[in-house]
A and B are shown apart, each in its own frame.
Chain A
């Protein structure tokens, strides 16, 4: 019994790391721009494919190709923003939703046409290894690595937000845009920066996902939806909140997967149920401040 509990805890913890990765990019972009990027999941997907081709073609380990993938993702995200969203920043939100939605469709289906729907994977050795504790508890190596990377990312992001000029400016924009421009901050340029960072994080997440999940052009959508659930749970403009939301979701899903009959199937829906519950109870999430009449 204790063994089971510990396993659930271990799994949940590690899953929380993965979920943090998925959500953090989206949370950053939304906190600053108040625009939900429906194409975020597809950026992650492209990151995964990037890591895959680096692995399959050039034998580069995903962890090594990660920085490159992240940089390319960031540039790509920035360019996409510049060409599309940047032009409709003053439009009503319905247009923004439809635009990023459409972008997601385009990204996804370009991938379908280029690479078909076949599943791929990167297969570094650690993807299959696991550690065994006291004959009972299995800890997958791959997940631990994801967890470590997640922690690194969060720390880097928090440090940047706290101590750098642009990071501080980013926080200012997310709290009060008008006042931020009165500080001499070019809000529009900050939008571009947030999207670039958000995409960089997303692509990096994809590189990690490349050895955790099967890579298909359709992997983006469930990731995006889960990322939403997480930032709603944790508050849409707080990095710490996102982390808490990620772990909250991870614990809920893992517990259900293990304890409820046919739990694995139901676990898929946990994100939605929790999202709905949270929206009824506290739209601002655990730590956030956005909400009413948004």
Chain B
């Protein structure tokens, strides 16, 4: 795995500084800071409700910031509307896919390249996407809503790619997919990463995420509680504590300690030491 050489010297692709955001009056994340260098794959980990999706929404402009700044390629985009961020190169494959159900696969993809920068490169975009996801090529005229979960996830990622992103944001790509599908999807993500696109990945499936990310941040109840390289995170206690059970980190067998931690997390009377 190559470490990003120029992280310290060149402008980071994305710089989030102490942001607070939420819905209406409820604060979901507070004081979140993170950095993504060009060409990196960075993951955001955390349990359900930790604030990962809220962070993604703030980055892509779907929700406003209550406090803090977001810088993209050195420019402050905190107040930039969502559609402008897409044109600037931030493309999101949202949580739950959010494809256009009554439009065909092809129409979904074409819409992905709606923004002027991507529109000119539409043909190349389609070629790239069909190479990465041959399954989609077979179903171009099919209504997107009638596809399986895995296919829809591929479509969502492909659609984001069609926007010619400099920063590709992926929110829970493994959600609701079978393990086989997850492997396939993450293979594709790895291929995308190796083509040089910067990736910010939100995932509950820590194991899968850490196989392709170089660095990561751990969120818990709206705050960053840990960060480090992928190796650090894979072994860190904090990461294990942040989840109910760490079975997916160690591939199946749970140690007694893990079981005790899991029981404590589930509310058993005698807490873990």
Q: Do A and B bind each other?
A: yes
Number of interface residues of B (CB under 8 A): 29
Given A168-B107, A169-B114, A178 and B83 contact (CB-CB distance below 8 Å): no
Contact in complex: B83, A187 (CB < 8 Å): yes
Contact in complex: A179, B98 (CB < 8 Å): yes
Contact in complex: A168, B83 (CB < 8 Å): no
Which residues of chain A (158-199) have a CB below 8 Å from chain B? 165, 168-169, 171-172, 175-176, 178-187
Among B83, B84, B102, B107, find the residue whose CB has the most chain A CB atoms closer than 10 A.
B83
Question: B163: shortest Cβ distance to chain A, in Å?
Answer: 7
Contact in complex: A183, B114 (CB < 8 Å): yes
Q: Is there a chain A Cβ closer than 8 Å to B77's Cβ?
A: no
Contact in complex: B94, A179 (CB < 8 Å): yes
Q: Is there a chain A Cβ closer than 8 Å to B101's Cβ?
A: yes
Q: Which residues of B contact A (CB under 8 A)?
A: 60-62, 81-84, 86-87, 91-92, 94, 98-103, 107, 110-112, 114-115, 118-119, 159-160, 163
Q: Which residues of A contact B (CB under 8 A)?
A: 165, 168-169, 171-172, 175-176, 178-187
Contact in complex: A183, B101 (CB < 8 Å): no
Contact in complex: A182, B60 (CB < 8 Å): yes
Q: List 19 A-B contacts (CB under 8 A).
A: A165-B119, A168-B103, A171-B102, A172-B100, A175-B103, A176-B100, A178-B62, A178-B98, A179-B94, A181-B81, A182-B60, A182-B91, A183-B111, A183-B112, A183-B163, A184-B84, A184-B86, A184-B114, A185-B83
Inter-chain contacts of B60 with A (CB < 8 A) = 182
Chain A interface helix/strand/loop/mixed: helix
Contact in complex: A175, B100 (CB < 8 Å): yes
9 smallest CB-CB distances across A and B, nearest first, come from A184-B115, A184-B86, A179-B98, A181-B82, A183-B114, A186-B83, A175-B100, A183-B111, A184-B83
Question: A233: shortest Cβ distance to chain B, in Å?
Answer: 20
Closest to B160 in A: A182
Option from B62, B101, B110, B160 in Cβ contact (under 8 Å) with A181: B62
Question: A166: shortest Cβ distance to chain B, in Å?
Answer: 9
Contact in complex: B99, A165 (CB < 8 Å): no
Closest to B145 in A: A175
Given A172-B103, A175-B103, A178-B62, A185 and B98 contact (CB-CB distance below 8 Å): no
